[in-house]
């Protein structure tokens, strides 16, 4: 793995840590299927008799929202068949995922450059 690939991986990992620290009620899962990757692409939420999801090409970060030309769709449904379909999709993804809790990140040593680039791209540019 080259220096840039390694740095990008560390930035995504720090981003996951930052998200789980801020969004205390959310669950974060790392997709671990060999040969595939997924980064901040899926959001599903369920409440009683409805569900919401976001689908599209956007990376779920501030830079993509404000600067990049990408497209998303927000789907809200109370249709039982749709809710079941989304839950089945999640079940399939979770078969190849590991839940990452805050304790997973707690003792990691973050390099200054990783934190700096994360904040620059998410809060300044």
| Token digits of residue 44 | 């599903």
What pLDDT, on the 0 to 100 scale, is given for residue 63? Answer: 65
Residues 90 and 109 in one domain: no
The alpha carbon torsion through 42, 122, 4, 32 (nearest 10 deg) reads -20
Q: What is the mean pLDDT of the chain?
A: 84
**8 Å CB contact between 23 and 123:** no
Residues 38 and 92 in one domain: yes
Secondary structure (H, E, C), the chain: CCHHHHHHHHHHHHHHHHHHHHCCCCCCEEECCCCCCCCCCCEEEEECCEEEEEEECCCCCHHHHHCCCCCEEEEEECCHHHHHHHHHHHHHHHCCEEECCHHHHCCCCCCHHHHHHHHHHHHHC
Residues 90 and 104 in one domain: no
Where does the pLDDT of residue 11 fall: very low under 50, low under 70, confident under 90, or very high at 90 and above?
confident
What domain range includes position 15? 1-28+100-125
What pLDDT, on the 0 to 100 scale, is given for residue 62? Answer: 66
Residues 49 and 65 in one domain: yes
Is it the case that residue 124 has pLDDT exceeding 60? yes
Q: pLDDT digits over 30-84, tens only?
A: 888 888 766 556 788 899 899 998 877 666 666 666 777 777 788 999 999 999 9
Residues 92 and 118 in one domain: no
For residue 124, give the nearest of 66, 75, 47 by alpha carbon: 66
């Amino acid at each position: 793995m080259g220096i840039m690939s390694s740095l990008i991986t560390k930035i995504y990992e720090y981003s996951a840590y930052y998200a789980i620290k801020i969004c205390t009620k959310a669950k974060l899962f790392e997709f671990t299927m060999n040969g595939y990757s997924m980064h901040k692409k899926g959001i599903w939420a369920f409440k009683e008799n409805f569900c919401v999801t976001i689908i599209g090409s956007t990376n779920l970060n501030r830079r993509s929202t404000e600067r990049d030309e990408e497209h998303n769709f927000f789907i809200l449904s109370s249709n039982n068949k749709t809710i079941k379909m989304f839950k089945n999709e999640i079940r399939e993804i979770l078969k190849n995922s590991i839940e990452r809790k805050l304790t997973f990140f707690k003792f990691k040593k973050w390099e200054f450059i990783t934190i700096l680039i994360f904040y620059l791209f998410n809060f300044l540019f």
